[in-house]
Amino acid sequence: MFSLDGFVKCVQKKGLNLYAVIVTKDGERLGEHHWRSDLRMNIHSLSKSFTSCAVGMALEEGLIHSLDDRVIDYFPDKLDAEPGQWLRKMTIRCLLTMSSGHEKPLLMGNTRDELEDTDWVHYFLNQPLCREPGTLFLYDTGCTFLVSAILEKQSGQHLVQYLKPRLFDPLGIRNPQWFTSPDGIALGGGGLHLNCDEITRFAQMLLDGGVYKGERLVPEAYLKQATAKQIDNAGQGDWGMGYGFQFWRCVWPGAYRGDGAYGQFALILPEQNAHICITSHEERSIADILDSVWEEIAPQL
């Protein structure tokens, strides 16, 4: 008999500040626990996985020709000087795998609000590169923002409007809100506001290979690539198992996840035909949240 009691006791013992956990297997909700009302909240970098799905759709629709399209070809008017050899090699694939070639992250957290340059595409593309793009993982919401900017330029729509008939409406997610840049481009890498129940619908679609309630939303071939390891990362534990296209691989065999700051998770366990979704505001150790999942929930599945 499945039970969340052990998980609840574990996170309480560790002093973790969770809001909700919902566990689903074989399309049926096995259990859920709420520490507060299931209100919409900033799901932070879990937003990146939604943006990645939009890329798959745009590829299928021909809005983007290839993941190997050069980024500068979309924004030639944003360059202050003739692009160098490395900038010419930066592709959409590099952005998706967090390997832009920059020395440090450019659009993370509060640093975005401190920028004098309110044109973030211009800012990103005119920062010096220290290595060839595509060669080294460096986590940066700026990469996802550039993907969002490309999607909006090619579709002629704000990312929310582009995804509304393609993803949000089919998932029953009404009127979602998404933070934007000063010039109105969806942040892409953070700032989408959802509740845990809404995240579970997204997770079910991922588990079912891009299909939700019989309707294909995301191309299957793209999703397989996006959720597979595409680049090495040098972190510890669940942050060192490899990175896909805006999805992380997990220590649990075969599992991958969408992952946001302070503990926003859509954990997909294909071998168990299950997913585990969590919302939190844990400022000390989100690794402890995942460790508790692998210790107390996953073995029951």
In 3D space, the residue among 136, 76, 145 whose CA is nearest the CA of residue 102 turns out to be 136
Q: Give me the helices (H) in 97-207, please.
A: 120-125, 141-155, 159-163, 196-207
In this structure, the answer to whether residues 68 and 188 fall within a common structural domain is yes
My answer on whether 88 and 188 are in the same domain is yes
Structural domain ending residue among the three candidates 176, 194, 212: 194
CATH of the domain at 167: 3.40.710.10
pLDDT of 119: 97
DSSP, res 225 = H
If you compute the radius of gyration of the chain from its CA atoms, what whole number of angstroms results? 19
Cα–Cα distance for residue pair 286/263, rounded to 1 Å: 5
Claim to verify: residue 266 and residue 173 sit in the same structural domain: no
Q: How confident is the model at residue 82, as a pLDDT?
A: 93
pLDDT tens for each residue of 237-269 = 999 999 999 999 999 999 999 999 999 999 999
Last residue of a domain, one of 194, 229, 249: 194
| Same structural domain, 79 and 1 | no
Residue 128 has pLDDT above 90, yes or no: yes
Q: What per-residue confidence (pLDDT) applies to 293? A: 98
Same domain for 186 and 44, yes or no, is yes
d(CA 193, CA 175): 10
pLDDT band of residue 110 (cuts 50, 70, 90) is confident
Please state, for a pLDDT cut of 70, what percent of the chain lies above it: 100
pLDDT at 301 over 90: yes
> CA-CA distance, 88 to 272, in Å (whole number)?
43
pLDDT by residue (tens digit) across 274-295? 999 999 999 989 999 999 999 9
Residues 186-203, mean pLDDT to the nearest whole number: 98
| Judgement on whether residues 79 and 132 belong to the same structural domain of the protein | yes
Q: Which domain holds residue 217?
A: 1-36+199-301
Distance CA 247, CA 271 (A): 17
175-192 pLDDT tens trace: 999 999 999 999 999 999
pLDDT range class, residue 199, cuts 50, 70, 90? very high
Are 92 and 116 within one domain?
A: yes
Residues 50 and 12 in one domain: no
Mean pLDDT of 55-70: 98
Helix (H, G, I), strand (E, B) or coil at 216: strand
Residues 25 and 12 in one domain: yes
Partnered with residue 33 across adjacent β-strands are 21
Same domain, 118 and 135: yes
pLDDT of residue 55: 98
Helices (H) and strands (E) in the chain, counts: 10, 11
- Please name every residue paired with 274 in a beta bridge, in sequence order, or none if there are none: 25, 269
Residue 300 confidence (pLDDT): 97
Domain boundary residue, one of 194, 219, 239: 194
Cα 207 from Cα 26, distance rounded (Å): 10
Contacts from 32-41 at CB under 8 Å and sequence distance 24+?
A: 32/4, 33/4, 33/7, 33/8, 34/196, 38/195, 38/196, 38/197, 38/279, 39/195, 40/177, 40/193, 40/194, 40/195, 40/198, 41/193, 41/194, 41/195, 41/264, 41/279
Answer for the pair 289, 18: CB distance below 8 angstroms, yes or no. yes
Number of domains in the chain: 2
Residues 46 and 159 in one domain: yes
Q: Read off the pLDDT of each residue in 187-213 and give the average, rounded to a whole number.
A: 98
User: What is the predicted pLDDT for the residue at 109?
Assistant: 86
Are 45 and 7 members of one domain?
no
For tokens 């071939």, name the residue.
Answer: 221
- pLDDT attached to residue 78: 96
